[in-house]
Amino acid sequence: MTVPGEGPVPCRIMLIGEGPGQKEDESGRPFVGRAGTILSGLLSDTGLSRDHVFITSVVKCRPPKNRAPGKDEIASCIPHLAKQVEILSPGIIVTMGRIATAAVFTMLDIQFPSFKEVRGKIFHVPGGKNGSGIWVIPVYHPAVITHNPPARSTLEEDFRRLGELLEQIRAEDGKILQGD
């Protein structure tokens, strides 16, 4: 099944993962399995809910045997993701995991040395429909906690950084984020 994503249109915040897993494939909704439960908790800790953000993935269909998507699969889905970004016009994109980060950085023409070097940092891409550009925050994928529970504190730190950026944007431009 195709899992295009869900959330408000337009959106201020867009979260992008790698691709749908089995639960997502069965339901047609993004991040509904264990990683989705973790993501919902992280959003809540940041003062957001799933209703405040648009959630999608780089690839829109589950790769066979839930393997990582290949370069050809990513290349065939990037035009769809780019169109989503154009239509949704987010002010912030949170990339979740190495594959999503590499794909989005390539799409937005941001240099991607390695996930380790960019994770947890905030990048600004000028332009966009609203003229204020897009902030990009690479974070660990929520599923990392299911395989590596000690990584929870790092993932929570990543989402605290998102909360800090939201506060900075509110303070600087005085705009209310959608869903606030």
Structural domains in the chain (count) = 1
- Asked, for residue 179, whether it belongs to a domain, the answer is no
Given this model, what pLDDT does residue 128 score? 66
The token duo for 77 is: 């889905």
Query: How far is Cα 50 from Cα 40, in angstroms, rounded to an integer?
Result: 7
Tell me if 2 is assigned to some domain.
Answer: no
The whole-number pLDDT of residue 177 equals: 46
Of 3-7, 153-157, 160-164, 174-178, the range with the lowest mean pLDDT is 174-178
Q: Is residue 93 part of a domain?
A: yes
pLDDT(24) > 80: yes
What is the domain range of residue 75?
Answer: 13-172
The whole-number pLDDT of residue 174 equals: 52
Confidence at residue 22, expressed as pLDDT on a 0 to 100 scale: 87
- In whole angstroms, what is the distance from residue 39 CA to residue 145 CA? 11
Residue 178 is assigned to a structural domain of this protein = no
- 37 within domain boundaries: yes
59 phi and psi angles, rounded to 5 deg: -95, 145
Whether 176 has a pLDDT exceeding 70, the answer reads no
Q: Are the C-beta atoms of 14 and 128 separated by less than 8 Å?
A: no
Residue 7 lies in a domain: no
Give the β-pairing of 123-125 and 134-139: antiparallel
The string of DSSP letters for the chain reads -B---BS-SS-SEEEEES---HHHHHHS-SS-SHHHHHHHHHHHHTT--GGGSEEEESSSBPPGGGPPPPHHHHHHHHHHHHHHHHHH--SEEEEESHHHHHHHHHHTT---S-HHHHTT--EEE-BSTTSB-EEEEEE--TTHHHH-GGGHHHHHHHHHHHHHHHHHHHHHH-PPPTT-
Q: Looking at residue 88, which CATH number applies to its domain? A: 3.40.470.10
**95 beta partners:** 16, 138
Apex 93 CA angle, 87 and 97, nearest 5: 125
160: in domain: yes
In this prediction, residue 77 carries a pLDDT of 95
Q: What is the pLDDT of residues 103-143, one digit of tens each?
A: 999 999 999 999 999 999 999 998 766 667 899 999 999 99
**Is the confidence at residue 149, as pLDDT, over 90?**
yes
Q: How confident is the model at residue 175 (pLDDT cuts 50, 70, 90)?
A: low
C-alpha closest to that of 28 among 61, 76, 71: 61
| pLDDT for 179 | 40
Residue 3 lies in a domain: no
* pLDDT score of 106: 96
